[in-house]
Amino acid sequence: MRRIQVLLCSGTACQSSGSEGVRRALLEALGLHNLLDEVQIVETGCMGPCELGPVLLVYPEGTFYVRVKPEDASEIVTEHFLKGRPVRRLLWTEGAPRPTEIPFFARQVKLVLGNCGTIDPEKVDEYIAAGGYEALGKAVTSLAPHEVIAAIRESGLRGRGGAGFPTGTKWELVRAAAGTPKYVVCNADEGDPGAFMDRAILEGDPHAIVEGMAIAAYAVGATHGYIYVRAEYPLAVQRIQTALGQARKLGLLGANIFETDFSFDVEVRIGAGAFVCGEETALIASIEGRRGEPRPRPPYPATSGLWGKPTLINNVETYANVRHILLRGPEAFAAVGTEKSKGTKVFALAGKIRNTGLVEVPMGITLRELVFDIGGGVPAGREFKAVQIGGPSGGCLPASLLDVPVDYDSLSQHGAIMGSGGVIILDDAACMVNMARFFLEFTADESCGKCVPCRVGTQMMLGILDRIVQGQGTEEDLTRLVEIGEMMKKASLCGLGQTAPNPVLSTLRYFADEYRAHIRDRSCPAGVCPNLVRYVVVADACRGCDACRRACPTGAAQGKAGKPPYRIVDDLCILCGACFDVCPFDAVKKEPR
């Protein structure tokens, strides 16, 4: 009889902070105390708070430990498992051992992530015990395909990959399309900086994707499916392969599923490092063995996709929602969220925020609740400045918009997008012009180069931004940025080019003062842009150690050893930052020019 279960997060983030070492140490300590029969260790997918990893959850009572090290294992075993006293120093917050008592968890509604961190993703039995494959069984044995589609439509589910197209409508289009065979594709080519929910779902609950795809295939009349995963996600690839093998063995994939006429199987296709392959037509080209370039739409994949056949292509998180709609009913699903954005959305919180990681919240929650209540706000000493939402082609929203509800339509109204749900929090140390330049550099790099508006537009905008951050911008540059950005939105071939100007346009809208400061005053208010800062020595902190003078390549740092303070001569300084890097007393400071 197992009296204790230890859920150990073994998602990529926790693995990288050493969860495997913790597992081995725990096993060793359990063996030492003869507890191997009483305590079970279950390796799960992502539990959410990545920065606190490795994390583990002890059941039955639900004690949540963070930042566990291998050397903590023996104390956990002797104190907690043997004597029943939680190890207080490893709790997230003193006096609140259970996730339900921690605001980070308490404010979330976990539907899609419900199994992530609570089941062993490599054991199909655990998935089935959690209600897995029940929805598929229900669909193929008791519902007609059009009834499945009707349920999806009534639920109000919209595509979680970013654009928010109504999922039921898309399924209906594929069902109605002429041509056989039809294909079902899962877009698992998540490459948005700041978003990692798709990987977490693939790693933590792979069967949910298999089940969602199988239900979709039944509904649209497909017999074959593909999961296109980034090669950068080896753990996700391995877990999904395991899941597919298990599903085949149990007859949940293959011929005559649940002893019906419905047959369906799925194969994995691995990408090779190209952000643009997240775009559906580029992804299809890549599966077909070509370079991953988008093509003009229409025709949409629904009518002419893989090998020119009708193809349903949805994102990972979208498929993960499907089984819940069939199990709980479309009304229950639609009861969560706002009028036009139903259900929950998974967000990846990153940047200058206390609690980084994955969170799932009802649509319509405000940015303030997301950033401050769940995310814990900006770490002490700094102030919230902006939230960049929707990935590299999302928008930056300022503090004044913190009460905007997070749903597809409100976000786009304010110049941001849902995107795949990446949320990056910026504090007052961030320069918004530099930040916009950065995101644009990313999309310029990742532009496939096929269409002129995107290929040339991103480069032109980048050139202008380069000039501005170097203090060589002009007023006309601002008008040019808007012109080029608007042109790209209208004329680019695919979503990459159409949304690439968003970070620039949104920062121009909300942080125009910062652009003006760079242009008119040749100054960077945040003290970030290298050409627009100066280095100064804080007299009180300088001890006259001579390190800066020795490091300075141009003789700008001047002074005499043992006779503080030193000084830095602006005219000689080339802003290399050598003095800043070497000063052992933090006496060299950067300040806006």
Partner 1 sequence: MTKEAIAAQHPRSPEALLALLHDLQLANAGHHLTEADLVLAAAHVGLPLSAVHDAATFYSMFSLRPRGRHIIRLCDSPNCHLAGAWSALDELRRLLGVDIGETTEDGAFTLELTSCLGACGVAPVMMVDDEVVGNLTPERVRETLVRYREGR
Closest distance between partner 1 and the C-beta of residue 166, in Å?
27
What are the residue ranges of helices labelled H in 392-535?
Answer: 408-413, 432-446, 452-469, 475-491, 495-499, 502-510, 512-520
> Which range binds partner 1 by CB under 8 A, 88-96, 320-328, 418-426, 519-527?
418-426
Q: Does 232 help bind partner 1 (rule: CB under 8 A)? A: yes
Scored b (16 or more CB within 10 A) or e, 252-265 reads bbeeebeeeebebb
Q: Which of residues 233-292 bind partner 1 (CB under 8 A)?
A: 233-234, 269-275, 286-292
Tell me how crowded residue 234 is: count the other CB atoms within 10 A of its CB.
12
| Distance separating alpha carbons of residues 565 and 461, to the nearest angstrom | 43
- At 163, the amino acid letter reads A
Residues 3-32 that bind partner 1 (CB under 8 A): 12-13, 15-17
Task: Assess 350 for contact with partner 1 (CB under 8 A).
Answer: yes
* Least spacing, CB of residue 138 vs partner 1, in Å: 32
Q: Dihedrals φ, ψ of 219, to 5°?
A: -70, -40
Q: Which is nearer to partner 1, 102 or 542 (CB)?
A: 102
Length of the chain: 593
CB of 233 to partner 1, least distance (A): 7
Rounded Cα gap, residues 398 and 425, in angstroms: 10
Give the interface segment with partner 1, choosing from 70-78, 251-259, 350-358, 553-561 (CB under 8 A): 350-358
- Residue 217 or residue 349: which is nearer to partner 1 going by CB? 349
Per rule CB under 8 A, is residue 435 in the interface with partner 1? Answer: yes
Under rule CB under 8 A, residue 396 binds partner 1: no
Q: Is 445 in the site for partner 1 (CB under 8 A)?
A: yes
Tell me the C-alpha distance between 305 and 182, whole Å. 9
Look at residues 290, 127, 312 and name the one whose alpha carbon lies nearest to residue 215: 312
Please state the closest distance from residue 268 (CB atom) to partner 1, in A.
9
Rounded to the nearest 10 degrees, how much is the dihedral formed by the CA atoms of 120, 122, 127, 128? Answer: -130
| Secondary structure of 244-278 in HEC code, one letter for each residue | HHHHHHCCCCECCHHHCCCCEEEEEEECCCCHHHH
What's 224's DSSP letter?
E
Among the listed residues 352, 354, 385, 518, the single contact to partner 1 using CB under 8 A = 352
Q: Is 190 in the site for partner 1 (CB under 8 A)?
A: yes
Residue 108 CB, nearest distance to partner 1 (Å)? 15
For 40-65, give one letter per residue: b (16+ CB within 10 A) or e: ebbbbbbbbbbbbbbbbbbeeeebbb
Encode 474-511: b = buried (16+ Cβ within 10 Å), e = exposed.
eeebbeebeebbeebbeebbbbbbbbbbbbbbbbbebb
β-partners of residue 185 are 226, 313
Does 199 interact with partner 1 (rule: CB under 8 A)? yes
Task: Compute the least distance from the CB of residue 287 to partner 1, in Å.
Answer: 6
Question: Which listed residue (45, 53, 453, 564) binds partner 1 by CB under 8 A?
Answer: 53
Mark residues 308-347: x for contact with partner 1 by CB under 8 A, - for none: ----------------------------------------
Closest CA to 172 of 303, 334, 322, 318: 303
Q: Which is nearer to partner 1, 71 or 521 (CB)?
A: 71
161 touches 318 (CB < 8 A):
yes
Residue 422 engages partner 1 in binding (rule: CB under 8 A):
yes
Measured from the CB atom, the residue of 55 and 219 that comes closer to partner 1 is: 55
d(CA 240, CA 121): 9
Choosing from 45, 191, 330, 457, the residue that interacts with partner 1 (CB under 8 A) is: 191
**Coil, strand or helix: which one is 206?**
helix
Asked if 424 is part of the footprint of partner 1 (rule: CB under 8 A), the reply reads yes
Does 231 bind partner 1 (CB under 8 A)? Our answer is yes
Please state the closest distance from residue 274 (CB atom) to partner 1, in A: 5
42 binds partner 1 (CB under 8 A): no
Nearer to partner 1 among residue 172 and residue 203 (C-beta): 203
Instruction: Please report how close the Cβ of residue 422 comes to partner 1 at its closest, in angstroms.
Output: 8
Q: In angstroms, give the least distance from the CB of 562 to partner 1.
A: 30
Instruction: Say how many CA atoms lie within 13 Å of 481 toward its Cβ.
Output: 30
Interface region with partner 1, contact rule CB under 8 A, candidates 169-177, 196-204, 309-317, 456-464: 196-204
> Which CB atom, from 47 or from 312, has the smaller least distance to partner 1?
47
Q: For partner 1, give the closer residue by CB, 140 or 195.
A: 195
CA angle 587, 590, 593 (to 5 degrees): 135
Contact residues for partner 1, defined by CB under 8 A: 12-13, 15-17, 49-51, 53, 190-196, 198-199, 230-234, 269-275, 286-293, 348-352, 356-358, 388, 392, 422, 424, 426, 430, 435, 438-439, 442, 445-446, 448
